[in-house]
Amino acid sequence: TGEGVHIVTVNDYLARRDSEWMGKVHRFMGLSVGLIVHGLSPDERRAAYAADITYGTNNEMGFDYLRDNMAIYKNQMVQRGHAFAIVDEVDSILIDEARTPLIISGQGDESTDLYRRADELVRSLKKVVYASVDEKAEEDDSLDADYVVDEKARSATLTARGTEKAERYFGLENLSDLENSTLAHHINQALKAHGVMKRDIDYVVKDGEVLIVDEFTGRLMLGRRYSEGLHQAIEAKE
């Protein structure tokens, strides 16, 4: 039909391998073959999607779709439409990985110093870890801890003592005031980076870069970042 076919698989290695192996057959039959992998420029992506058959991963194609929907001008888009798709390892892509949403994080504000200072604060705090906050018998006021980690909910929150220490550290009267909401957010992300996110389980550090580990497949999620400043908080931690 001339509309193109997308062949979707789970990682760059398989997409590249299949495009090389099967591409010889397709080209022999007069069909053009494109490949979408991490690190391509918009022009390279546009050319790959213009091919009769385009190999790529669900993540790369999914993010290209999201970026196209954010494009202001049509010439900024890379995909040409969606006619046919053949999905390899469909159970992994449509069931396992479907539970991890594709999110495009906006550029973080230039508050590197705030991430650093929040990280320094959290390093000085004492934590207590519960499998679930439901198991916590003591009130915050009586806890010998500055923040509480709930492993089940994957959250970390300041206790009353921790809040007082944060207010002294930053010279505030009340951390909960609306004018301090940005600072409170940075502190909360630093708490999560230290209390919840585990190196070599949730992420790895490779060549000085924090890379997310897919919780379902164990593969590195190249080009993806945690949203809402969590990635920057982890970078400050490391």
Let me know the angle formed at the C-alpha of 89 by 204 and 12, rounded to the nearest 5 degrees: 45
Parts of the chain with a pLDDT under 50: none
- As a whole number of angstroms, the distance between CA 21 and CA 165 comes to 61
Buried b (16+ CB within 10 A) or exposed e, 100-117: eeeeeeeeeeeeeebbeb
- As a whole number of angstroms, the distance between CA 19 and CA 56 comes to 9
The CATH architecture one would assign to domain 111-237 is Alpha-Beta Complex (3.90)
Contact 71, 95 (CB under 8 A): no
Let me know the angle formed at the C-alpha of 23 by 218 and 41, rounded to the nearest 5 degrees: 60
Contact 217, 99 (CB under 8 A): no
Contact 88, 8 (CB under 8 A): yes
Tens of pLDDT, residues 177-225: 999 999 999 999 999 999 999 999 999 999 989 999 988 778 888 778 8
Q: What is the pLDDT of residue 122?
A: 96
Who contacts 156 (Cβ-Cβ below 8 Å, separation ≥6)?
127, 147, 148, 149, 150, 188, 191, 192, 194, 195, 196
Length of the chain (residues): 238
Q: 3-state SS of the chain: helix, strand, coil percent to 5? A: 45, 20, 40
196 closest CA partner among 164, 229, 157 = 157
Q: What is the pLDDT of residue 131?
A: 81
Report domain 5-96's class. Answer: alpha beta
Extended strands (E) in the chain: 5-9, 33-36, 53-57, 84-87, 127-130, 147-150, 155-158, 203-206, 209-213, 220-221
- As a whole number of angstroms, the distance between CA 143 and CA 148 comes to 9
Q: Which residues pair with 150 in a beta bridge?
A: 130, 155
Q: Where are the domains of the chain?
A: 5-96, 111-237
Q: Which residues pair with 86 in a beta bridge?
A: 7
